[in-house]
Chain A
Amino acid sequence: MLRYIFKRLLMLIPIIIGASAIIFFILNLGGDDPVMLLLAGTEPDELTIELTRKELGLDKPIAIQFLDYMKGLLTGDLGTSWKTGKPVFEEYMMRFPATVKLAFVALSISVLISIPIGIISAVKQYSLFDNIGMVAALLGIAMPNFWLGLLLIICFSVQLGWLPSGGYGGLAFLILPAITIGTDQAALLTRMTRSSMLEVIRQDYIRTARAKGLVEKVIIIKHGLKNALIPIVTVIGNQFGHALGGAVLTETIFSWPGVGRFMIEGINKHDRPVVIGCVIMLCIMISIVNLGVDIIYAFVDPRIKTDMTKKVLRGGGLKCQKGQQ
């Protein structure tokens, strides 16, 4: 098991190097001078431009800049923000708690909604409940979550005045953004739960359990759910990992001071170290969460454990599903 964990973590390294290289060079594709982009809006004169260029090491050729950055990465240094001069990692960590809070609450909302609805829909397939549930889920998938956020603001903040429309604070500030992210996650999760449960219910061992005369509820929950959970938990893990990387759109709309907003501001302000730093942290988050999920499976189901170790030692790839924030 430890060898497995180690190997998985080791696979992170090429991913990080690759991802940061990709972003690094893409960001340099634009023809504009990065220093002027950085200082845009403050009307810098030549002196300021030259000094800033030297300060940020942008007077060196691009290959050298990249190597310097890689050297820093190997020592665990994510670079320094071009805008504020503070280490990217420090700035990231200052905003991380906000994102974690949001991710957890959204996760709870999502799970609380989708799992029960998914299970009931599967059990009562084609009933009215199932139909409404699936339609709602489809609507949820179709609705851009930033639009939902705006609608929630209009409804609960502007019209009813019950909740503040943005900012950071306690529960009142947390609800609307968490609902925005949570329902978006729930839409997909409900459908997944339902289809996964459906598959499981049709299996032979369920029929056997029924024949044995066990209570229906027990069958569904004990036997059915446990097995259906596997793909469900994978999706949950993935969504949570993405949420930890910062829900860019939601944080922007609700002025939530998390890492998603940090990243988008970095992009807007052409602060390259911040952008790359955030991408790297995001990859790490997703990988760690996925790894955590896989390890939990292994302890829950020994079949998976052996299967996993076999696959990795053969050289299977990391699975990163993509989801919208």
Chain B
Amino acid sequence: MSERTAVEIGTETVVATRKRVSQFSEAWSRMKRSKSAMVGLIIMIILILIAIFADVLVDYEVDCVTPDLANRLQVPSREHILGTDAFGRDVLARIIYGTRISLVVAFSSVTLSLVIGAMLGSIAGFYGGKIENIIMRITDVFAAIPNLLMAITIATALGQSIFSMIVAIGIAGVPALARIVRATVLTVKDQDFVEAGRALGGNNMQIILFHLLPNCIAPIIVQSTLRVAGAILSTSSLCFLGIGIKPPTPEWGNMLAGGRDFLRTAQHITLYPGLAIVITILAINLMGDGLRDALDPKLRR
């Protein structure tokens, strides 16, 4: 290998990159073939659009927040398609707004997990030896504390805001992501483009960022997608328990908590926010499964 010239190795990197690009389009066409993954994708796109345009669809102040005490606990009717809650607020409007909050928290926290986890995992995998050991040990300790607990503890300490929830769920998700990244880096580490990168004169950081990580993308994408589903579940669990975002800010979990006192008289408050959670997580899982099947050559059938 030492006999090859820099140009040859450089070309290999270019070829590898081109292969990667066509790899993606191949994966995309594979995914298109899976109907359920497509359904998941479409639902996700709809949800994201709802989240972005929530302000257009509903008026936050009027529909979500202001109490209308004369109309409390109305069953679904033509005026309020999904009924009203204990304060007379329209449930559908609150669910729509809640979409924005859930998705913001979910995506932000997974991004946080990703950034920290990928950094830790790739450093551990790349350098190996003592550094790897230390990083993985610390990760193990964090991993020993269950997800929900970790999030609850951090959220309780940092106060009740969207920010603290993002941090809480984000940090709770770091160990899993770090592990995946490290494992993938280990398999990819010895391949040629690392040499290529070195030959092109990059230092270690550049190699990690520009050569190593891009080749680990497939499992990272799959894991992150599934983590988003987990983050949505964590978000609603935390809010349900009363830790995290509080009313009047509409969030699916705290809407469910609000419905607990009315299990006898107004079940719609419990029913519909829960359905929203189910649909969202289902869509993400379908998409994630499809991504995994598409990106993983082993399962090619």
In the complex they form, whether A and B have CB atoms below 8 Å apart is answered with yes
A242 within 8 A of B: yes
List chain B residues, Cβ under 8 A from A27.
153, 156-157
The 5 A-B residue pairs with the shortest CB-CB distance in the complex, in nearest-first order: A18-B141, A147-B274, A142-B281, A142-B282, A29-B157
- Give the nearest-CB partner of A146 in chain B: B240
In the docked arrangement, what's the CA distance between A318 and B138, Å?
A: 12
Given A138-B286, A154-B263, A154-B267, verify A15-B146 contact (CB < 8 Å).
no
> A144 contacts B137, CB within 8 Å?
no
The answer, among A26, A144, A252, A287, for a CB contact under 8 Å with B236, is A144
Which residues of A lie under 8 Å from residue B264 when comparing CB positions? Answer: 158
Q: Tell me whether A320 is interfacial, beta carbon within 8 Å.
A: yes
Q: Say yes or no for B169: interface residue by CB 8 A criterion.
A: no
Q: What residues on A are CB-neighbors of B271 within 8 Å? A: 151
A279 and B156 contacting across the interface, CB-CB below 8 Å: no
Q: Is the CB of B146 within 8 A of A282?
A: yes
B140 near A144 (CB under 8 angstroms)? no
| Alpha-carbon separation in the docked complex, A142 to B43 (Å) | 14
Determine the residue in chain B with the shortest Cβ distance to A30. B157
Cα(A263)–Cα(B243), bound, Å: 14
| Residues of A with C-beta under 8 A to B141 | 14-15, 18-19, 22
Is A268 an interface residue, CB under 8 A from the partner? Answer: yes
Interface residues on A, range: 35 or more
- Evaluate whether A28 and B157 lie within 8 angstroms (CB atoms) in the complex, with A139-B282, A150-B263, A153-B263 already known: yes
A279 and B149 within 8 A (CB): yes
Given contacts A249-B240, A317-B140, contact A151 B274 (CB under 8 A): yes
In the complex the two chains form, is A325's CB within 8 Å of B267's CB? Answer: no
B233 sits at the interface (CB 8 A): yes
Complex Cα spacing A283 to B150, Å: 12
CB distance from A206 to the nearest CB of B (A): 18
Query: A279-B145, A317-B140, A318-B140 known; 4 other A-B pairs, CB under 8 Å?
Result: A147-B270, A150-B259, A267-B156, A275-B153
Residues of B at the A interface (CB closer than 8 Å) are 133, 136-138, 140-149, 152-154, 156-159, 175-176, 229-230, 233-234, 236-237, 240-243, 256, 259-260, 263-264, 267, 270-271, 274, 277-279, 281-282, 285-286
Q: How far is the CA of A275 from the CA of B153 in the complex (A)?
A: 9
In angstroms, Cα B272 to Cα A151, docked, is 11
A197 on the B face (CB < 8 A): no
Name, among A15, A242, A322, the residue most crowded by chain B CB atoms within 10 Å (CB to CB): A322
Check A286–B285 contact: CB distance below 8 A: no
Chain B neighbourhood of A325, CB < 8 A: 146, 148
Whether the Cβ atoms of B145 and A23 lie closer than 8 Å is: yes
Interface residue ranges of A278-324 to B (CB < 8 Å): 279, 282-283, 286-287, 315, 317-318, 320, 322-324
Complex contacts, B143 vs chain A, CB 8 Å: 320, 322
A19→B145 contact, CB < 8 A: yes
In the bound complex, how far is the Cα of B275 from the Cα of A151, in angstroms?
11
Q: Which of A22, A30, A154 contacts B145 (CB 8 A)?
A: A22
- Complex formed: what's the CA distance from A282 to B133 in Å? 24
Residues of A within 8 A of B148 (CB): 248, 324-325
Q: Give the chain B neighbours of A315 by CB distance below 8 A.
A: 133
Contacts of B149 in A (CB 8 A): 248, 263, 279, 282
Interface membership of chain A positions 132-143, coded 1 if the CB is closer than 8 angstroms to chain B and 0 otherwise: 000000110111
CB proximity to B under 8 Å, residues A148-178 = 150-151, 153-154, 158, 165
B271 CB to nearest chain A CB (Å): 8
Secondary structure class of chain A's binding surface, majority of residues = helix
Q: Does B278 lie within 8 Å of A267, measured CB to CB?
A: no
Is A245 positioned at the interface, with any CB of B under 8 Å from its CB? Answer: yes
Residues of A within 8 A of B159 (CB): 30
A171 to B256, CA, bound (A): 27
Q: How far is the CB of B161 from chain A (nearest CB, A)?
A: 12
Contact A245 B146 (CB under 8 A): yes
Least CB distance from B48 to A in Å reads: 18
Complex-state Cα separation, A16 to B243, whole angstroms: 25
B233 near A320 (CB under 8 angstroms)?
no
Which B residue's beta carbon lies closest to that of A282?
B146
Q: Is A264 an interface residue (CB 8 A)?
A: yes
Contact of A147 with B140 at beta-carbon distance under 8 Å, contacts A279-B145, A324-B233, A325-B146 already known: no
Contact B260 A286 (CB under 8 A): no
Distance to closest chain A CB from B61 (angstroms): 28
Establish whether residues A139 and B278, one from each chain, have CB atoms under 8 Å apart when the complex forms: yes
Give bound CA distance, A249 to B234, whole Å.
11
Q: What is the bound-complex CA distance between A143 and B136, given in angstroms?
A: 32
Q: Which residues on the A side are within 8 Å of B279 (C-beta)?
A: 142
Interface 1/0 per residue, A234-265 and B, CB below 8 Å: 00000000100100110011000000000110
**Contact A318–B282 (Cβ < 8 Å):** no
Residues of A within 8 A of B270 (CB): 147, 150-151, 154
A315 to B134, CA, bound (A): 12
Instruction: Give B176's nearest chain A residue, CB to CB.
Output: A322
CA distance A141 to B130 in the complex (A): 38
Q: Smallest distance from the beta carbon of B44 to chain A beta carbons, Å? A: 13
Give the chain B neighbours of A150 by CB distance below 8 A: 256, 259-260, 263, 270, 274
Does the CB pair A147–B277 fall under 8 Å? yes
A138 touches B157 (CB 8 A): no
Are B263 and A158 touching (Cβ within 8 A)?
A: yes
B256 touches A146 (CB 8 A): yes
A29 to B156, CA, bound (A): 9
Q: What is the CA–CA distance of A141 and B278 in the complex, to the nearest angstrom?
A: 9
- Bound together, the chains give a CA A153 to CA B267 distance in angstroms of 11
Question: Whole-angstrom distance between the alpha carbons of A23 and B158 in the complex?
Answer: 13
Pick the contact of B144: A30, A147, A286 (CB < 8 A): A286
